[in-house]
Structure 1
Amino acid sequence: MSISLADWKGVPAPTTQLIEGRYIRLEKLDPARHGDDLFNALQGPGADPKLWDYLPYGPFPERSVFNDWLNNHAASSDPYFFSVIDRASGEVQGILSLMSIVPAQGRIEIGHVTFGAPMQRSPKSTEAVYLLAKESFALGYRRLEWKCNNANARSKYAAERLGFSFEGVFRQHMVVKGQNRDTAWYSILDSEWPAIGAGFEKWLSDENQTASGQVKGLVECRTQQS
């Protein structure tokens, strides 16, 4: 249930350094410890060739430029970046951030989602978003956003699968890499999170994630909670 606005005093900015999950853990981005694995996951021989298509930066064939990019991310408080570490292997396989952070209004966004191939279409990618969403609402944020290029079909599908509600398209919102970007906006509200969060937990449970595959899809798990 949403807090009474008569009592609203804002919320803290995120300062979390570590968030533990079932399949992954999120650590505050540290280029010295995470850089080698991230370069291999995002730029190595097995990297997703479409990874950088809709991001405002990349690709980074030169390690020095990649290092500068990581160092800039690590120094930022908005966006506030996390590395995604696979618990089974200990490898760093992606990054993502909390961004557009407005504590006074209780508004925050998950963005800069950059997952290496081993994370894609796996419980690890879903859990990474779940953990940041859970952290955001635990801090007291009222609104969690997801934004992407309206031409980015993969990101739009992910937003809807993850439980974000489509709110519209901001036309000619940005110029990215010399091209127009119409931006699709999505959100989850604090009043919606209990049912959406329970759906994530059901989907990520041992009972649902079996050796032969997933018993139920995330949308089905979420529907059963509403």
Structure 2
Amino acid sequence: MPAALPDPLPDEVLQRRAILPHKPAPVVLTGDHVRLEPFEFQPHLEALYAISNGSPVTLGERSVGAYDSEELVWRYMFAGPFDTLEAFEVYMRSQTNAPNGLPFCVIDLPSGSPVGVANYINNVPDHLKIELGSIWYSPVIQRTPANTETTYLLLRHAFDLGYRRVEWKCHSLNERSRRAALRMGFQFEG
């Protein structure tokens, strides 16, 4: 006897597929430590470049000296590091122009300063699926609550909108990203 088919999804779930936009709508998400703002070239571009290009960074009482941006920020990303602001702008423009994604500038609430970028990418409303990706932070904010809260805000918003699956993909050699995803409850699928 063949296995029974699973029950169909409820109508209200299926209706979400018809109303979710292909490009996520811009929204500001605020937590206790960070605020996520839809990326804007003004005022975010120059500040994000300054905190991700290997130059010393100070944020309140935290600071890092000159660092290897390839090693600490860009190694497992699709592009970078960027030698010029103009090259960084081209990279960010590709993210803002993505037809099925939305980049957010991560703002550190205590200082009001940009500290990184997180994106909704690969949005597929027909499957009620969206992905978190192209996530990076300045070394000055790494290993703080910023990534955990950013991920929580993005997950909460996606599930509130009606998505049923949120994916996190990372380079197989990016151990920090893999550990972070597992720590936050994502399941490894191979």
- TM band (smaller chain): 0.7 to 0.9
Question: Structure 1, residues 139-175: CA drift from partner, whole Å, max 9, x if none?
Answer: 000011011111111111111011101112xxxxxxx
Aligned match for 1:5, one of 9, 16, 27: 9
* Offset, 1:116: 0.8
Higher strand share: 1
Q: Which of the pair has the greater relative contact order for Cα pairs under 8 Å at 6+ separation?
A: 2
Q: Which amino acid aligns with 2:155?
A: A
Distance 1:4 1:120, change over 3 A: farther
Question: 1:78 is matched with which residue: 90, 100, 105?
Answer: 100
1:103 aligned onto 2:125: yes
Cα deviation, residue 41, structure 1: 1.1
Sequence identity, in percent?
A: 35
Q: How far apart, in 1, do the equivalents of 2:187 and 2:94 lie?
A: 31
| Shift, 1:71, TM fit | 2.3
1:18 aligns with 2:24: no
Cα distance, 1:48–1:140 mapped onto 2, change above 3 Å: farther
Tell me if the contact between 1:48 and 1:117 (Cα under 8 Å) persists in the aligned partners. Answer: no
Q: Distance in 2 between matches of 1:98 and 1:27?
A: 12
Residue 74 (structure 1) shift: 2.2
**Pairing 1:139–2:161 present:** yes
Kept in 2: contact 1:19–1:26 (CA 8 A): yes
**8 Å contact from structure 2 (residues 54, 68) kept in 1:** no
Equivalent-residue separation in structure 1 for 2:107 and 2:32 (angstroms): 11
Q: 2:123 is paired with a residue of what secondary structure?
A: strand
Equivalent residues in 2 for 1:23-42 (5 A)? 23-42=33-52
Aligned counterpart, 2:62: none
Name the SS of the counterpart of 1:148 in structure 2: coil
Deviation at 1:48, TM superposition (A): 5.6
The amino acid of 1:12's aligned partner reads: L
What runs of 5+ residues in structure 1 fail to find an aligned partner? 169-226
Q: How many residues align?
A: 166
Per the TM alignment, residue 35 of structure 1 is displaced from its structure 2 partner at its CA by: 1.0
